[in-house]
C-alpha cells in the first residue's frame, strides 16, 4: 500500500485521477491536452499510478486508454475504515466512492485490475469451473467454453438461456470473453430485481465482459473489462458496484481456499 499513498501524495497525479474520474478511458494525448502538462510529466505520473494499480490501461487499436482502478482503494477501506473512526478517513472514503462510481462521458466501459497470488491455470478454473463459480459468485455456467458456444447461466434454481449468450473469445489461461446474460422474469425473481428495473435493463443492448490474464512471477494480473453500455445504463450502475466485491471473493478463494460470506445474486453484483 506504500505505492498507493506515494502516488496520491502528488498534486499532479491527483489531477490525473480527477481527469479520469470526469472522463474515463483517455489516451496519453488527451490527458496532456486536458491538464496542460508536458507529455513527459504525464507519462511519468501515469507510470507511478499504474505501478500503484490506481490506473489500468487497455489497448484500443494503436492507442492505450487509461482507466481508474478502484481495487487499491477497496483494499485500504477493508483494512482500516471498519476499524477507525470514519471521520478520520473521510478523504479516503470520498476517493473510494469517486473511483467506484465514476461514469465515463465518452466511454462507459468498466475496467478493474487486481493481482492474485495464484497461477493462470487456477485462475482460469476459478472463472470457468462451476464448482468454483458457485462458491464465490453463486452461479454456474453450462458451456464447453469454446468460441461461439452458447452459455446457460444457472443461479438459485433459475436457468437463463438465449442464442445470444455466447462465448466470444476463449484462449485458455490468457483471455476469456462472453456476452452478458439475458434479463428474464425468472432471473429477476431469483435475483430480487423489481419489475420496473427489469423493464429498464431488458431494454438495454447486451453488454459483454472480458477477462485478461497475465502471469507476473508468483502473481497473476487479472483485468476485467465490462463494456457495451449506453450512457446512463442501469446495468452499468449495477455491475460497477458488484465487480469489486465479486473479484474480492475470487481472490480470497484462490489465495486461501475460503469464501466471503453470502454472495449476492449474479445480476446485482456482477
Distance CA 176, CA 194 (A): 31
Look at residues 67, 86, 106 and tell me which one is the last residue of a structural domain. 106
Q: How far is CA 10 from CA 15, 69, 163, 164, 216, in A?
A: 9, 18, 50, 46, 27
* CATH code of the domain containing 30: 1.10.10.10
Same-domain check for residues 62 and 144? no
pLDDT of residue 270: 44
Minimal CA–CA distance to 123: which of 208, 258, 221, 227?
221
| Domain coverage including residue 62 | 2-106
3-state class of 264 per DSSP? coil
Quote the DSSP letter at residue 250.
H
In sequence order, which residues have a C-beta less than 8 Å from that of residue 163 and are 6 or more positions away? 150
| pLDDT by residue, tens only, the chain of 270 residues | 678 888 888 888 888 888 887 788 888 888 988 787 888 888 999 999 888 888 888 887 788 888 888 777 766 666 655 544 444 444 444 555 445 444 433 468 899 999 999 999 999 999 999 999 999 999 999 999 999 999 999 988 889 999 999 999 999 999 999 999 999 999 999 888 999 999 999 999 999 999 999 999 999 999 999 999 998 999 998 998 889 889 999 999 999 998 766 544 444 444
pLDDT of residue 116: 95
Same-domain check for residues 258 and 168? yes
Same-domain check for residues 99 and 123? no
- Cell representation of residue 242: 458488484
Same-domain check for residues 58 and 30? yes
How many CA atoms does the CB half-sphere of 115 hold within 13 Å?
A: 14
Label residue 232 left, alpha or beta by phi (over 0 means left) and psi (-120 to 50 means alpha).
Answer: left
* CATH code of the domain containing 178: 3.30.530.20
In sequence order, which residues have a C-beta less than 8 Å from that of residue 11 and are 6 or more positions away? none
Distance CA 14, CA 92 (A): 13
Same-domain check for residues 99 and 126? no
Same-domain check for residues 117 and 197? yes
Same-domain check for residues 120 and 82? no
Q: Answer whether 233's CB lies under 8 Å from 120's CB.
A: no
Same-domain check for residues 118 and 100? no
Report the 3 state secondary structure along 18-55. Answer: HHHHHCCCECHHHHHHHHCCCHHHHHHHHHHHHHCCCE
Distance CA 143, CA 80 (A): 41
- Taking the whole predicted model, whether its pTM rises above 0.85 is answered as no
pLDDT of residue 87: 45
Same-domain check for residues 93 and 153? no
Helix axes 195-202, 234-256, angle to 10 degrees: 90
Q: What is the chain's Cα-based Rg? A: 19
Domain count, the chain: 2
Same-domain check for residues 118 and 91? no
Same-domain check for residues 50 and 120? no
Same-domain check for residues 142 and 253? yes
Distance CA 17, CA 15 (A): 5
Look at residues 49, 75, 106 and tell me which one is the last residue of a structural domain. 106
How many CA atoms does the CB half-sphere of 2 hold within 13 Å?
A: 0
Look at residues 68, 83, 106 and tell me which one is the last residue of a structural domain. 106
Amino acid at each position: 500500500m506504500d505505492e498507493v499513498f506515494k502516488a496520491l501524495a502528488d498534486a499532479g497525479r491527483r489531477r490525473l485521477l480527477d481527469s479520469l474520474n470526469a472522463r474515463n478511458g483517455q489516451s496519453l494525448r488527451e490527458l496532456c491536452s486536458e491538464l496542460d502538462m508536458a507529455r513527459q510529466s504525464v507519462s511519468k505520473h501515469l507510470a507511478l499510478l499504474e505501478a500503484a494499480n490506481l490506473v489500468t490501461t487497455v489497448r484500443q487499436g494503436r492507442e492505450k486508454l487509461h482507466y481508474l482502478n478502484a481495487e487499491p482503494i477497496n483494499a485500504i477501506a477493508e483494512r482500516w475504515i471498519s476499524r477507525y473512526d470514519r471521520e478520520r478517513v473521510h478523504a479516503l472514503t470520498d476517493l473510494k466512492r469517486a473511483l467506484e462510481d465514476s461514469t465515463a462521458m465518452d466511454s462507459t466501459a468498466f475496467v478493474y485490475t487486481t493481482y492474485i497470488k495464484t497461477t493462470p491455470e487456477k485462475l482460469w478454473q476459478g472463472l470457468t469451473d462451476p464448482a468454483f463459480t458457485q462458491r464465490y459468485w453463486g452461479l454456474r455456467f453450462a458451456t464447453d467454453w469454446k468460441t461461439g458456444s452458447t452459455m446457460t447461466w444457472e443461479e438459485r434454481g433459475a436457468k437463463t438461456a438465449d442464442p445470444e449468450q455466447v462465448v466470444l473469445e476463449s484462449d485458455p489461461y490468457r483471455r476469456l470473453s462472453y456476452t452478458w446474460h439475458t434479463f428474464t422474469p425468472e432471473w429477476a425473481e431469483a435475483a430480487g430485481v423489481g419489475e420496473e428495473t427489469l423493464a429498464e435493463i431488458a431494454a438495454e443492448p447486451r453488454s459483454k465482459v472480458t477477462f485478461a490474464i497475465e502471469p507476473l512471477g508468483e502473481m497473476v494480473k487479472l483485468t476485467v473489462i465490462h463494456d457495451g453500455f449506453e450512457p446512463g445504463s442501469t446495468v452499468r450502475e449495477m455491475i460497477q458496484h458488484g465487480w469489486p466485491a465479486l473479484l474480492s471473493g475470487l481472490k480470497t478463494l484462490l489465495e486461501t481456499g475460503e469464501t466471503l460470506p453470502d454472495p449476492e445474486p449474479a445480476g446485482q453484483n456482477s
